[in-house]
Structure 1
Amino acid sequence: MKRYDNSFKEQAVRLVTEQGKSVSIVAKDIGIHENTLYKWIDQYKTHKENAFPGSGNLRPEDEELRKLKKRVADLEMENELLKKVTAIFAKDRK
């Protein structure tokens, strides 16, 4: 699968959105499938400058969501551990 850098994607999108060229012509000229270009256009319209964060990178809002999910999972694990420890101490007091 061929990978395209952010600049390439943005330029292709701008040919359609700013210069008014048709998706089919731009896609054919640059050697990609029309659906790929439509996907890039949708991503660009939705996320603007963060549309194409690059391989292995996340958009800022996605990175924040990932961190929050990890924090929730950590807190849930700590909570379960505390419940077990509390149960153990409750047994020892009897």
Structure 2
Amino acid sequence: MGSTRRSFTDEYKKAAVAFVLDEGRQIKEVARNVGVHEMTLGKWVKKEREIREASTEPDAVLSESERAELIRLRNEVKTLKSERAQLEMQVSFAKKVATWFAKDQQ
């Protein structure tokens, strides 16, 4: 007994993907509503995102929300780098103290 594989038109795929990318709905929700598996819709969405990214110019002007997010993310990276440097100093100090105590115990 052969398996039956469903096929979808390009228009159907584009409409389902538009719900996710243009309207901001979750893949899980849209997949359930349009009657496809989450993985299938996820692949369609991934493919469309790649197409959209390839078609945009790298020097394209950012919208205000994109620019605000970029600034927020850059600030977050600075903060995380600073916290990491501080933790690395603490680890280094702890190693030196442990070495000192180990020598003192002998």
TM-score of the superposed pair, with normalisation by structure 2: 0.43
TM-score of the superposed pair, with normalisation by structure 1: 0.49
